Chains A and B, each alone.
Chain A
Amino acid sequence: MLCDLHLPKINPNMTSAIVECVYADPGTLLKAGDKLFDLSVDLSSGYSQYCPPISYFRVVVRERVWLQKLFVKAGDSCDVGEILALFSSEQAEPLDAAPARPIRVANAGIAHHQGLWSANHQ
């Protein structure tokens, strides 16, 4: 069975997010609790005249899955609903079928850290 992950609307005011960290590579088996992405959400949409209302979130998987495809890398800006990754329940599984459902994940607000893409590129 294939599952996918689209950028969730973590905050009702957000329209996009920046991928700050990618913690897994395609072909990896992920178990519940593994880190997948760190994201930053800027509610000012980068309109930086004022103190930017930026929050950081970590996306953690909540089930055992194989990461098959990544559609983003650190530094990419994504719109809400845009596909981030494709997963499968078995390692060798045809990837041409339609995903059966979204992957189960947890989102958590995190502190800024030096591993973030924006900490090193802005």
Chain B
Amino acid sequence: MTTIPSMTTIPLTLGPLIAEGFVIKRSGVYWLCEDGHHCRPNEVVAYCNIGLERLARQRSGVLPMADEQELQVAFATPCAGYLRIDAGKSPGGYLNAYGLHTWQTDDVLAHLELDPDQTSLIANAGRLALLFVAGRRMSGLADVDIGFLPGWHSRSRAWWSDQSNSLMTLLCLGICDAAGLIRGNRVPFIEFFEGSTGSTQLVYIPDHPLVPCAPILLEQLLRTNADKQAIAADIAAGLAGSRTPASADDWLFAGALLSSLEHSPIVDSYDILTPMGLQRQGPADAVLLSLSAETQSVLRHKKLGYSLQMLRHRQAAAGPAVRAWLTSAFEPVKRTIDDIRHDYRRLIEAVASKTGARVMILNRMSSSGFEDILSYAPFDAPLRETLENIAAKEMNLMLHDLADECEFSIIDVDSIAAYLGGAEHLPDGIHHSGAMQAMLRAQIFDIIRGSAPPSPQSGNFELNRKISHSV
């Protein structure tokens, strides 16, 4: 006779959320899975929009997070079990989107039939874990009103609500290799957070229109208001004086470009919603950069002297007037490896001086199974300007030389790609597989938690540890 274990079912409640002076409003619930879905611990299963409404007679002043028009909270199950979705939480249509409900600590969204091995966790199980996401729109027009963190954002971020006393902010200023780690490729930020309940806020800045390479980030950090005014006037004059009439694409591109040039994300501060109340976080504690963003040349403005670099496929978004302005007002300036090292050193020192943030740099994959080079004789010297893998090796070595001059951490893409197999996990040298992203995230976790030494060799040590554990 088979004994059927009794099922323990618990209600999943919203839990506390406080913003002094405000009523917290929420929308209906958008479910990301079906009723009956088997959930992992920490799995994000639903989300809703939220907003802050001032209490009566307190309706003046600036709202917190007023510049972040996307503000949502995702709900994660606290332990494993089968989800039973309560009816009536999702009225549908626009009624699901608007903040018609007041946040109530004891509101029950669903029930969870706990897996037998989870029943010992009942004491902590009843509350949904809350993952907040916020997006600052590139333009107020970019109001896609469907989905999780939808739209076009100049900055997006996420944080767990219940760890905010010691929240550590990681700012992603990389290109695709970094974006995939931090923002993920499935649902924004979820892949990173499902792997960690740690007290981290992630902030993502897109790699367009500007590539976040060292000279551009440094200039953003040091730019004065007078500099910004001169740049804005020059862009306006460039478009207005263009022989080709500026198109809608030109103005949109120029607006996004100006927005990037005028703002340094490194010194941004953040409002945080938590169960204990609204909190203000200072600038990021750690900054993640991509070595792949350091191209062998940048554009330099002939008159104003500032730098520009854009990914080729992004330049296609510009109209003819912007392209003509880029050609006439800028000149390409080659960067040697020493130039790049110098730019990095100045940036790392400036970041340390302005905010004290720790810098982490993703190095580059420097080998390829797709090559069968028997002799370097056919390739033009210097080889780093011809062969990608030589360039990557020299750049990776440069990071180690730089470590003698200033403090930062290397996230060792090169070692992990070699370990996992580049052909399968990094087929074009920049876009990682999910398995590779998970290993790189683990390195980042270890460094920001301080469990890996903040030396440039830390990545190798950590990889060795993971390899020895997995073999």
Contacts and interface: CB of A to CB of B under 8 A. Distances in A.
B373 A108 contact: yes
Interface in B409-453: 423-424, 427-431
A97 to B, nearest CB: 28
A34 B378 contact: yes
Contacts, number: 72
Contacts of B423: 11-12
Interface string B58-69: 000000000000
Contacts of B431: 51, 53
Contact of B378 (A10, A11, A33, A55): A33
Interface in A36-72: 41, 43, 48, 51-58, 60, 62
A107 interface: yes
A33 B313 contact: no
Interface stretch (B19-27, B246-254, B386-394): B386-394
The secondary structure that dominates the B interface is: loop
Contacts of A108: 371, 373, 379, 387
B377 A107 contact: no
A13 interface: yes
Given A34-B378, A109-B389, A111-B391, A55 B372 contact: no
A52 B313 contact: yes
Q: Residue among B378, B379, B385 with the most chain A CB within 10 A?
A: B378
Interface in B135-188: 175-176
A33 B377 contact: yes
Interface size class of B (residues with CB under 8 A): 20 to 34
Contacts of A51: 175-176, 311, 313, 430-431
A108 B312 CA distance: 22
B368 interface: yes
A6 interface: no
Q: Give the size range of A's interface with the partner.
A: 20 to 34
Interface in A88-122: 106-112, 122
Interface in A10-30: 10-13
Interface string B347-375: 00000000000000000000010111111
A110 B374 contact: no
B370 A57 contact: yes
Interface string B108-144: 0000000000000000000000000000000000000
B374 A54 contact: no
B211 to A, nearest CB: 11
B296 interface: yes
A22 to B, nearest CB: 16
Given A107-B370, A109-B368, A48 B379 contact: no
B243 to A, nearest CB: 21
Contacts of A10: 370
Interface string B256-295: 0000000000000000000000000000000000000000
A53 B428 contact: yes
17 contacts: A11-B370, A12-B423, A12-B424, A12-B427, A43-B427, A53-B427, A53-B430, A55-B429, A62-B374, A107-B372, A108-B371, A108-B373, A109-B387, A111-B296, A111-B385, A111-B391, A122-B316
Interface of A: 10-13, 33-35, 41, 43, 48, 51-58, 60, 62, 106-112, 122
Given A51-B431, A109-B370, 19 more contacts: A11-B423, A34-B378, A41-B428, A48-B316, A51-B175, A55-B370, A55-B429, A60-B379, A106-B371, A106-B372, A108-B371, A108-B379, A108-B387, A109-B368, A109-B388, A111-B385, A111-B386, A111-B388, A112-B312
